[in-house]
A and B are shown apart, each in its own frame.
Chain A
Amino acid sequence: MAFTTSNSMFWKGFRDGAPFIMVAAPFGTLFGVFATEAGLNLVQVMTFTATVFAGAAQFTALQLLLDDTPTLIVLLSALAVNLRVAMYSAALTPYLGAAPLWQRTVAAYFTVDQSYALSVVRFETEPDLTVPQRMAYFFGAVTPLAPAWYLATYLGAVLGTRIPESWALDFALPITFLAMIGPMLRTLPHVIAALVAIVMALLTAGVPFNLGLLIAGTAGMMAGAQAEVVLNRRKAAG
């Protein structure tokens, strides 16, 4: 009985996750192309994409490596880009924290934008789900996405070197990231965080080792958090 219901939750997750192949596949292809153009061989590209499993952080690391940034700064900056998955992990914990450790370990690896976003919405709207049903839904949601991501990266890596310069792929990264940022600007504090980060990034562009990214990112985070506190206080007072 429990197995049947978990099974149906898996397929529910699968159906909800499947449309995001349309996002994961082009992004993965782009990473494959970008990494190959940067001089990585196929083994490096695929190890990178399979072990890190976080497109934005992978792009950040490569971009900084191409700018001759010291390794430690590359790691810190790329992990800063990935700090949001720690937030996802924290947000999923109340729902999945009671599952067996091995399941939580596997779930941790598959914690990405889409699996987090779909799962949290589902768990909030259906509070009566059991922990196994929630896990089934979570894994269902990533099941179509992960293979699409690996395969797309592979195709991008194989095709990469054959793409002509006139395609202006140098700008694919900014466009893709800006496209991701747009939907994130849900509230005024989010907008403030982004604006402060942009201004600080331009002002600190001359700081050595690309440390400006960490400075600007931290400033943006603090501005967003502070704006949230001020707005909530005002709401409580009014």
Chain B
Amino acid sequence: MSQIDPITMWTVIAGLAIGSFGLRFVFIGLVGDRPLPGWLLRHLRYTAVAILPALIAPLVAWPQATGGQPDVPRMSAAAVALAAGYWSKNVLVAIFSGAATLYGLLYLLG
């Protein structure tokens, strides 16, 4: 990990603020009542469910805290959080299940 310099940080904050508002405004503000092409909506439907796992997968497989070594407590916690979220449909239940697994195993395995 390295320090983030202020210019880079402010650039990212400004760019994300403008970009995020743009993404939210584009349809409701600019498109108004006009219909949208089906293929576009179809792809937009799967963005979150594709991008978020893609972001997380490497962090689970090669955690930074262990220097990139696969790790039983973290791997198990990830599996439990995902499964609990899938079955319960409740984000909080899933977070607490995952956290309990992580702390439990970190404690047991030392």
Contact = CB atoms under 8 A, between A and B. Distances in A.
Interface of A: 22-23, 26, 38-40, 44, 47-48, 51-54, 56-58, 60-63, 65-66, 68, 71, 74-75, 77-90, 92-94, 96-98, 101, 104-105, 107-109, 111, 168, 170-185, 189-190, 193-194, 196-198, 200-202, 205, 212-213, 216-225, 228-229
Interface in B5-64: 6, 8-17, 19-21, 23-29, 31-33, 36, 39, 41-64
28 contacts: A22-B92, A44-B6, A48-B13, A51-B14, A66-B2, A78-B12, A79-B20, A80-B51, A83-B51, A90-B41, A97-B32, A97-B33, A104-B25, A105-B25, A109-B21, A109-B24, A111-B28, A173-B56, A174-B74, A175-B78, A178-B94, A179-B85, A180-B91, A181-B52, A183-B90, A194-B49, A202-B61, A205-B58
Contact of A93 (B27, B62, B83, B92): B27
Given A172-B99, A179-B95, 17 more contacts: A23-B91, A53-B20, A80-B47, A96-B28, A101-B29, A108-B29, A168-B102, A171-B63, A177-B55, A178-B78, A179-B81, A182-B85, A182-B86, A183-B86, A197-B50, A212-B58, A224-B45
Classify chain B: how many residues form its interface, as a range: 35 or more
The listed residue with most B CB atoms (<10 A of its CB), out of A58, A197, A205, A218, is A197
Given A52-B20, A87-B41, A109-B21, A174 B95 contact: no
Contact of B46 (A60, A193, A201): A193
B106 A168 contact: yes
Contacts of B86: 182-183, 185
A71 B19 CA distance: 14
A67 to B, nearest CB: 8
A168 B17 contact: no
A73 B95 CA distance: 29
A213 B92 CA distance: 26
Contacts, number: 295
Contacts of A201: 53-55, 57-58
Given A53-B20, A178-B94, A181-B82, A170 B63 contact: yes
Interface of B: 1-4, 6, 8-17, 19-21, 23-29, 31-33, 36, 39, 41-65, 74, 77-78, 81-92, 94-95, 98-99, 102-103, 106
Contact of A175 (B3, B44, B95): B95
Nearest to B46: A224
B18 to A, nearest CB: 9
A81 B31 contact: no
Given A40-B4, A75-B12, A79-B23, A93 B28 contact: yes
A168 to B, nearest CB: 6
A223 B28 CA distance: 27
Contact of B19 (A75, A105, A109, A222): A75
A51 B20 CA distance: 9
